[in-house]
Amino acid sequence: MLNRREFLKAGAGLAFAAATLPVRAAQGGGHVVVVGGGVGGATAAKYLKLANPKLRVTVIEANRTYVRGYGSSEVVTGHVSMDDLNVSYDTLKSRYGIQFVFDTVVGFDPARKQLRTAGRQTLAYDKLIVSPGIRLLYDAIPGYSAAVAETRVPSGWIPGAQTALLAKQLKAMRQGGTFVLVAPPTPYRCPPGPYERAALVTEWMRRHNPTGKVIILDPKDSFITDATMQLGWHRLYGYNMPADYLKDLPASVQVKNSGRPSPIEWVRAKDGGEVEKIDARTLAVTTLQGVEKADVLNIIPPMQAGKLALDMGLTDASGWCPVDRRTFESSVHKDVFVIGDASIADAMPKSGFSANTQAKVTARAVADQLAGRTPGEPVWENTCYALAGSEYGLFVADVFRLKDGKIAQVSGQRYLPLDATPAQIRLAATYQQAWLKTFTEDCFA
C-alpha cells in the first residue's frame, strides 16, 4: 500500500491515463462512483438507481464476494458456517445495471475528480460516495499486532479468516478453560456486538464445555443495551447483576443474585477492566486489576475509519470522517460523500442499519443535486437486534433527525423494556434471525 502522500500523488498523475481511458458522464444523469461495496456502498448504489435509473453507477470494491459482519458471531459458535456470510453482487448487477470494478483504489485526485485503482484503471466521477468501513488499531494494545491477530489472538471484527480461527479455537479449548473477550473503547462498530458474542459463547459452553468460563474485560463502564443484556445473562446463565443496575430495575422484575460465580463476568473500567498489555505466547492479559490467563483470547481493539478514508485525506484528528450531516458530504472534499462506520454521525451507532439508512439519504441527496434539486429533509433509523441467547432477543431502536446541524435521536426510549414479556423476548430473537435475511435483501438485492 502507498502512504498518504504517495496515494495523493498517484491520483495527481492521472492526467494522461485519463486521456487514454475517457470516462464521461452519461447523458441525463451523471456518473456516480461508489467506493466500497459493503453495507453502505451497496445500499447507496441500489438506491441511486431506484432514485434515477438513468444515473451511471459504478462500484469499486476490493472483493468479488461480500462477507457480512452482521450475524458473524454465529460462526464462532458453529450456528452458521463461513459460507453463510457470503453475499453475492449478482443481483445488483443484473437487476439494477450497476457496474462493478473489482479492484482496490490506490490514488485520488479531488481537483480532477478522478480515482485510480491498483489494476491501473482511472475512473472519473461527478459525485463520489465512499463507504470504506473500519480499520482495526491492533498496535494500540502492547503485545498485540495484525500478525498476532491472524495467527494466535483473533479479533474477528472485520469478518474473515480471523472469525474462522476464533471458531476453531473455541472448539479446541480445554474443558474448564477461560474465554477472554477484550471489548473496545467507543466509538466502535456494532455497540451491542461484543456482549452478544460473549453471550453466545457462554450459551455454547453450557452445552459443550460446562465448566468453562467467559470473561469480558472492558475499558468502559456501560454499553448500549447494557441493562437488558445483563438481565438476559442473569436469567439464562446465573450472571450476578451489579448493584447499580439492580437498583434501576422496575419492581415487577424479580432478580436475585445467587452469589455463586457466574459463567460470564463483565469487568468494567471502574473494576479495573482496562487492558494494559497482552502476552501473545502465554495468553496472559494484564489489566489494572491484575493478570487474567486466557485459554482463548478474542480482542476487539480500538478502531478508526477504513484506511482508504485516511489515505484520501477524509479523516480528522479523531480518525473518523467529518461530514455535513444533512447529506454526508465530506467537510474536506466537495462532491465526495462519506457514509457508514467511517463517518462521524453523532448519536447514530456505527451499525449496518445506520450505514443502510445513511446510504439512502445520501443516495437521494446525490440524485437530487445532480438533477439540480435541493435535497429534502433527512431522516435516519437504527435498529440493532441482539441476542443474550439464541432464543432471547433484545434491541436498540432509534429514529434520528437533523437538529441544529447535528444528528439527534428523537424517538425516546430505545431498548426492550426491562419488564418485557417472554413473548416479546422470544419474538425479538425470531426477528433478529429474520432481519439477517430481509436486511441483506434491502442492501444487496
Ligand X SMILES: Cc1cc2nc3c(=O)[nH]c(=O)nc-3n(C[C@H](O)[C@H](O)[C@H](O)COP(=O)(O)OP(=O)(O)OC[C@H]3O[C@@H](n4cnc5c(N)ncnc54)[C@H](O)[C@@H]3O)c2cc1C
| Cis peptide bond prior to 187, omega within 30° of 0 | yes
| Closest to ligand X by CB, 232 or 241 | 232
Question: What's the Rg (C-alpha) of the chain?
Answer: 23
The Cα 386–Cα 404 span in angstroms is 31
Find the binder of other proteins among 31, 325, 350, 360 (CB under 8 A). Answer: 360
* Grid cell listed for 279: 502476552
| Closest to ligand X by CB, 241 or 428 | 428
| Closest to ligand X by CB, 124 or 241 | 124
Residue 90, contacted partner among other proteins, ligand X, none, CB below 5-8 A by kind: none
Strand partners, 400: 380, 409
| Closest to ligand X by CB, 204 or 353 | 353
Residue 430, contacted partner among ligand X, other proteins, none, CB below 5-8 A by kind: other proteins
- 72 interacts with ligand X by CB under 6 A: yes
Burial 131-151 (b: 16+ CB within 10 A, else e): bbbbbbebeebebbeeebbee
Find the binder of ligand X among 15, 63, 151, 210 (CB under 6 A). Answer: 63
- 193 interacts with ligand X by CB under 6 A: yes
The Cα 181–Cα 349 span in angstroms is 21
Determine the residue type at 201: V
User: Shortest distance, CB of residue 229 to ligand X, whole angstroms?
Assistant: 13
**DSSP label at residue 80:** S
The Cα 115–Cα 41 span in angstroms is 16
- 427 interacts with other proteins by CB under 8 A: yes
Tracing cell 432464543 back to the chain, one arrives at 391
- 234 to 196, 206, 210, 259, 266: CA distances (angstroms): 14, 14, 16, 11, 12
User: Shortest distance, CB of residue 143 to other proteins, whole angstroms?
Assistant: 35
* Grid cell listed for 81: 458456517
Binding to other proteins by CB under 8 A, coded x per residue (else -) over 217-256, reads ---------xx-----------------x--x--------
* CB-facing half-sphere around the CA of 406: CA atoms within 13 A: 7
Find the binder of other proteins among 15, 140, 172, 434 (CB under 8 A). Answer: 434
Tell me the window of 192-200, 307-315, 330-338, 437-445 that interacts with other proteins (CB under 8 A).
437-445
Find the binder of other proteins among 15, 21, 26, 50 (CB under 8 A). Answer: 50
- Cα–Cα nearest to 71, from 90, 88, 87, 92: 87
The Cα 345–Cα 408 span in angstroms is 9
Q: Do 199 and 249 meet the contact criterion of CB atoms below 8 Å apart? A: no
Find the binder of other proteins among 356, 367, 391, 407 (CB under 8 A). Answer: 356
- 341 interacts with ligand X by CB under 6 A: yes
Among residue numbers 376 through 405, which ones bind other proteins (CB under 8 A)? 376-381, 383, 393, 395, 397-399, 401, 403
| Closest to other proteins by CB, 286 or 390 | 390
Among residue numbers 278 through 337, which ones bind ligand X (CB under 6 A)? 306, 308
Neighbours of 58 (CB within 10 A): 18
Residue 232, contacted partner among other proteins, ligand X, none, CB below 5-8 A by kind: none
User: Shortest distance, CB of residue 352 to ligand X, whole angstroms?
Assistant: 3
The Cα 380–Cα 377 span in angstroms is 10
Q: Do 309 and 321 meet the contact criterion of CB atoms below 8 Å apart? A: yes
User: Shortest distance, CB of residue 442 to ligand X, whole angstroms?
Assistant: 11
Residue 36, contacted partner among ligand X, other proteins, none, CB below 5-8 A by kind: ligand X
Q: Do 191 and 349 meet the contact criterion of CB atoms below 8 Å apart? A: yes
- 190 interacts with ligand X by CB under 6 A: yes
The Cα 219–Cα 252 span in angstroms is 32
- 353 interacts with ligand X by CB under 6 A: yes
Cβ burial of 202 (10 Å; 0-12, 13-18, 19+) is: buried
**DSSP label at residue 62:** S
Residue numbers at the binding site for other proteins (CB under 8 A): 46-47, 50, 226-227, 245, 248, 353, 356-357, 360-361, 364, 376-381, 383, 393, 395, 397-399, 401, 403, 408, 410-416, 418, 421, 424, 427-428, 430-431, 434-435, 437-439, 441-442
Residue numbers at the binding site for ligand X (CB under 6 A): 35-41, 60-63, 66, 69-70, 72-73, 104-105, 131-133, 157, 189-190, 193, 306, 308, 340-342, 350-353, 355, 384
